[in-house]
Structure 1
């Protein structure tokens, strides 16, 4: 069986490699067992220009939604498959 490995950091200039199994076992990857595999959220980390991040923050403030929702709406508008139920504010609501 071939396992996928990923570089997940460096230490003293050396790359730290781990398999997906290693990362799950050590708690680096969260799995939602209550959801089916097609509904599990994955982590995605990207670097964007600071002006882009600032614009996303402004749009999120204007719409009073998290940046995650703004980005998912934009991806869906671009034609990327995004389930409707994924585009929701998952933050806890404060009692009025």
Structure 2
């Protein structure tokens, strides 16, 4: 499901069963990420799928990339794999107005 920036952020803040999933590359991730996100680069192909298999399908996944395209693809793949609740951030990280964190060195 696609959510606007505001809806994604407000729904995320109220969700006690949320996981934030960043599907960008590690280089993009290192330039800043949404706090508490986990990285799973969709360009890794089979590696991306393996990491998805390890995730708890009962959680609600808030997925983002740079502009919203890769994360929409990721949500579609996750839905096919049995994830029921995936939320794509429309406009992606480049339009994000919320807090930004940087990965630990």
Could you state the TM-score of these two structures normalised by the residue count of structure 1?
Answer: 0.31
More relative contact order, 1 or 2 (CA 8 Å, 6+ apart): 2
Larger Rg: 1
